[in-house]
Amino acid sequence: MIEVEGVKIDTRHWIGGERVPSVRKFPDISPIDEAHLGDIDAGGAAEADRAVAAARATFPEWAGKTAAERGAILRRVADGIDERREDLARVETRDNGSLLRSHRRGVMPRVAMNFRFFADYAETLAHPDLEVRGHRERITYDPAGVTAIITPWNAPLMLATWRIGPALAAGNTVVLKPPEWAPLTASLLADIAHEAGLPAGVFNVVQGTGAEAGAPLTRHPGISRLSFTGSVPTAGVIAAAAAPNIVPLSFELGGKSPLLVFADCDLDLAVDLAVEQFDNAGQVCLGACRLLVQEGIAEEFTARVVERARALVQGDPRDEKTDVGALVSRQHFERVSGFVERALTGGAKALLGGGPNTGLGGLYYSPTILAGAEPGSEILTEEVFGPVLTIQTFKDEDQGVRMANDTRFGLAATLVTGDPERAERVSARLNAGTVWVNCFFVRDLGAPFGGSGKSGIGREGGTYSFDFYCDVKNTVFSPDGWRSHG
């Protein structure tokens, strides 16, 4: 047991409705000041086996409940999240360095919504019967089994519950492997779920590194579904591990999204959207880190974005005035620094930032805007995942679209224009799972979410989630043959 921001947190795994210790531990370090928050129990194959066994044992009971019965429990989980919203916000800010004000106002309310929305949706999930040659075809959504969920550190609780919510609402049981760089709110969620009356074994948490705790889950024969959010290389390893068991996968992977700014746009709006990309210190998979601006307004747009970004307040994310916090770990800090250093050596120019925030020290990297990078260079093609934006210019619509699509990723794209017809034309040509027109980060939970290209496999949200977390069954009834023999 440790105490973080006045909140007591059990550092053991949660398996089969009880706390389970491990001999081995791993340290949890806060990005804010690199303070040691505590030692967390580190799981491996034994803990993964135990968690999957617990989830499989309780699966028939949970799957046998009606959607309404499951929904009632999941809504109590959501209520518990709301009641502990401040605890969850403070702990996650300390653990992963994201802004406390964002956790309070947006992230933790969304965590609760992930349970309520899918609990409600499951109760209305239905497909109209089909008819062929007088035969009736009934389509149903059957629980699939045990779902393994492996989540990232940039929004650990929100991104975990975005998968846990529909998996449980569908009637599956869950084993969660939280990120080792930010594991604490997963432990609190286990407490909240238990207090809400979620049966033992329905939700399990196995902590540890990807290699030691995640890998045994990905290759486990007892898993029926696997959801992963993270990097492309790790996804390849997971896919290979899951392949022998023919486990369906849902992957949300990297991004290198464009913000495409046309000369006919509302320039104030375009500048606002560009500066918004520094949210969470740029550690956002959907972030539009490539600013592509039409030549006629490029000079003014660039000057205004640099001026606005320079005014951002960087510092302790627990301070309500802070706009940009720290990067999550020393390892990630060095990775981001390396990208920028290589870009500058290669001829790019830093219009803003370009290095660590020496006034703050630690893991604080200055908001950075780079121009003049060589087409095809690393800084324009690889995901940096930090507070680093690049600016490029284009002449006309065709060139702008080509540059926007010149990436192996396809998670999202943002388009800013004052011409509705251009908005229709360009959005149809952009290769992305989500396209925002004159807005950013707006999405109903019923809408499909996922990436094209190297940004992922599959879609989740609304019915799309249940298509994945369920076995969709077709039962065909003949109009004849109802008379029994004799």
Query: Which residues are catalytically annotated?
Result: 252, 285
Q: Is the dihedral of CA 462, 464, 467, 469 positive or negative?
A: negative
Q: Which of 309, 311, 300 is nearest to 266 (CA)?
A: 300
Token output for 317: 């994310």
CA dist., res. 379 & res. 57, Å (int): 48
Q: Is the dihedral of CA 217, 219, 222, 227 positive or negative?
A: positive
Token output for 131: 């008819």
Beta-carbon count within 10 A of 480 CB: 7
CA dist., res. 318 & res. 357, Å (int): 18
CA dist., res. 39 & res. 29, Å (int): 9
CA dist., res. 403 & res. 405, Å (int): 5
Token output for 81: 């999240």
440 by Cβ neighbours in 10 Å (0-12 / 13-18 / 19+) ranks as buried
Tell me how far apart the 2 most distant CA atoms of the chain are, in Å. 91
Q: Which of 161, 145, 160 is nearest to 113 (CA)?
A: 161
The torsion of the CA quartet 93, 99, 104, 105, rounded to 10 degrees, works out to -160
CA dist., res. 299 & res. 291, Å (int): 13
